[in-house]
Amino acid sequence: MKLITDTIAPRAGAAVAVDAILCFSALVLAASTLAAKSARVPEIFPQLPLTLASAAIFALVMGIMYALVGLYRPGTISLGATIGRITLAMSVGGYLTHLAMHAVGVPESVATLILTLFYLCIGILLVRTGGNMMRRVSPLARVLIVGTGPEAYAIARELSSRGEMSRDVIGLYPSSGLAAPELSGSGLHVFPENASIPDLVSLHGIQEVIVAVREQRGGGVPMDQLLACRIKGVPVLDFAGFCEKTKRQVPIDSLKGSWLVYGHGFVQGGMRRFVKRLFDIVSSIVLLVVLSPIMIATMIAVPLDSRGPVFYRQRRTGLGGVEFTCLKFRSMFVDSEKDGVARWAVRDDPRTTRVGSFIRKTRIDELPQLLSVLKGEMSLVGPRPERPSFVAQLKDQIPFYDIRHSVKPGVTGWAQVRYHYGATFEDARRKHQFDLYYVKNNSLLLDIQILIETVSVVMFREGQ
């Protein structure tokens, strides 16, 4: 259970459960309506097992379709985009459920599904409208932040914004005698230093304490008071733990090695490696077979668009810092780096061909790397491999950069589905925070989540 809650955001998990209940109930209600309308009430009970099985299949299929079109991803999309994605999910999901119902011999599956989708639309409208109203009137979780420095101010600002991280910041408890200049005029209440944190928790009904202090040694943080809160059942998180829990990334600016050493995660046991390798082999074979028409078409289109080879080979850094040859469909003109200087790929790169621009936006250029997955040089999911020349620079400037090389690089990864396309040093720093989260929390469930989110990223060009 902890694995599931650590991987899936609470709001997304609640949305999945609500949608599953809606889909299941819609099909059962539709089947009951048609049976009652046809005056075949005595036949309802013999058909009940098939109806319940069909409803379960419909709920499962629709849950997968909702995930594939990105309805459970963080962030907000426009109303029009939401309607479009729900319509797409219903169309494909309804057709797949029809095939399943027909296969098990459920009568009138077309009429049942049409009525099911009608009921489902009503249910979605009522639930989402009611949910929005509830979120507006429901009180936010009350939070106390320990610290008055830049980290505390940054957390308070993020928590005060709308979104999944929204909290009611009651105030800040100073870790030193003076508040940081950033807090002046911010409207944030700073409690006196001689106040008792447990008393503040009880008095203001605080539900979570966040410690946002970079240096916690030397008595700067009242550990005995925080322990008293923890014993009472009030969660106490440090800055890194807060970001890991709410933002699904590990901050590197104020990260300490001790947090990585003593914290949970980094499970790389023999069973995990075996399961991941088996998953990689089976998945890459299936994807190579399914996507072979696209790959063949690309092999024809690349040389027709510009002279040069079909494939582009480049040295990348993999597991344990060992270099390997990464294979991609060529998307740039030949000799785009004829001076021998490695350059970041940028958006709308002038070195890109017409076909190359398309296959880069749709990620088709990455498909030959499935062969590297079969060979064991890469995994289907993991941090994206970098060029050795870039790795040498990034290791010197980004803390804990080598940790990403403790797992195999991936065709897709957590940073690719949670951060926009970037081609700067700052983008590399931000992506590394997501890669650290993946390495620390990697599991088969997280791999599956990343693969599902990759579909919506490619389909709707998110992160371009």
CATH 3.40.50.20 residue ranges of the chain are 142-247
What pTM was estimated for this model as a whole?
0.84
Measure Cα distances from 157 to 38, 138, 187, 243, 378 in Å.
Answer: 59, 20, 11, 14, 39
How confident is the model over 71-130, as pLDDT tens digits? 998 876 788 889 999 999 999 999 999 888 888 777 667 888 999 999 999 999 999 888
User: What is the three-class DSSP state of 190?
Assistant: strand
Q: Which of 215, 263, 223 is nearest to 243 (CA)?
A: 263
The two structure tokens encoding residue 390: 């870039």
The two structure tokens encoding residue 276: 């991941």
Mean pLDDT of the chain: 85
Would you list the DSSP string of 279-298? HHHHHHHHHHHHTHHHHHHH
Q: Report whether pLDDT(180) > 70.
A: no
The two structure tokens encoding residue 336: 């785009």
Strands 311-317 vs 236-238: parallel, antiparallel or unpaired: unpaired
- Return the percentage of the chain with pLDDT > 70, whole number: 85
pLDDT at 179: 47
Would you list the DSSP string of 342-402? -----TT-TTB-HHHHHHHHTTGGGTTHHHHHHHTSSEEESPPP--HHHHHHHHHHSTTGG
Q: Is domain 142-247 annotated with CATH 3.40.50.20?
A: yes
Lowest mean pLDDT among 180-184, 364-368, 457-461: 180-184
The C-alpha torsion from 394 through 395 and 396 to 398, rounded to 10°, is: 70
Measure Cα distances from 400 to 251, 297, 384 in Å.
Answer: 11, 41, 16
- Other CB atoms within a 10 A radius of the CB of residue 457 amount to 21
